[in-house]
Amino acid sequence: MESLKLKAEVREKIGGLSSKTAIYKENKIPGIIYGGKDEPQPILVKKNELLKIINNEGLFNSVVEVELNGKAVNVLFKEVQKHPAKNIFTHIDLQRVVEGTKVNVVVPVVLKNQDKCFGVKIEGGVINHVLKEVSVLSSPDSIPESIEVDMEEIKSKEKVRLSSLGGNESYNFPSSLKNQDPVLVSVLTAKGGTLDFEDEEADDVAEGADGEGTESSDENSSEENNSDNSEGKS
């Protein structure tokens, strides 16, 4: 992946009026660099500088080197805001990359060998790409460009969940995501010329019911604890 760089300058004035002046009169985009032990740093980036990298497919899962006051600051793009009615950038959020600390980034889920998929080629099913991107925890110098799922041996009605992928030495998945174990892709069957979503919907309902039961139990437990605390206080 190509190295991404961005020139920025320290933003001296902060506020709505100064932001509008920067955007509409100076062709500069306000932004903020935050994270780590250092204080948040307001910045300005020339529009032309931002346009050089904004359309890069890997922008949000790549370390970007920001040149600021003659020093290099490694960051991750976290958000790029645009005017709701105009094609104008209004703000960028950049997170500092701290050496020795893993970063949480979102990467695309790429399906390999779709044309060789058993469930499609042999059984006449249709691939249902459920989750097109996923969060990973990775060291900054080894962020994966994508998470690949090999579809060649996936059969009709079969689902590929996050847990089937595992991780590797360079990245892993957040605990909250692993607990959810979402479906990344499945192969739907065709009945009477229409796609059959019944199995998927049944599983979703079952999973939802399990979740509701857990939530209910948690709420009951919480209420019991609150009740005990109240009695103790009285």
Same domain? For 66 and 108 the reply is no
For residues 124-140, give the mean pLDDT: 93
Same domain? For 108 and 51 the reply is no
* CATH code for position 157: 2.170.120.20
Query: pLDDT of 152-203, one tens digit each?
Result: 999 999 999 999 986 677 899 999 999 999 999 999 987 655 556 655 554 5
Query: pLDDT of 204-215, one tens digit each?
Result: 544 554 444 444
Domain membership flag for residue 142: yes
Cβ contact 110:147 at 8 Å: yes
Query: pLDDT of 213-233, one tens digit each?
Result: 444 444 444 444 444 444 444
Strands 4-10 and 71-82: unpaired
* Single residue among 47, 68, 96 that ends a domain in this structure: 96
Query: pLDDT of 12-35, one tens digit each?
Result: 888 888 888 899 899 999 999 999
Per-residue DSSP letters for 79-148? Answer: EEEE-SSSS-EEEEEEEEPPTT--EEEEEEEEEE-GGG-HHHHTT--EEEE--SEEEEEE-GGG--S-EE
Query: pLDDT of 95-126, one tens digit each?
Result: 999 988 899 999 999 999 999 999 999 999 99
Quick check: 51 pLDDT over 60? yes
* CATH code for position 46: 2.40.240.10
Residue 47: the pLDDT is 94
Quick check: 130 pLDDT over 80? yes
Collapsed DSSP state (helix, strand, coil) of residue 29: strand
Domain membership flag for residue 54: yes
The amino acid that residue 78 corresponds to is K
Chain centroid offset of residue 154 CA: 26
What gap in Å lies between CA 50 and CA 227, rounded to an integer?
Answer: 56
For residues 140-147, give the mean pLDDT: 89
Residue range of the domain that includes 35: 4-96
Total domains, the chain: 2
Same domain? For 115 and 161 the reply is yes
Same domain? For 27 and 108 the reply is no
Domain membership flag for residue 132: yes
What are the beta bridge partners of residue 149? 111
Domain membership flag for residue 115: yes
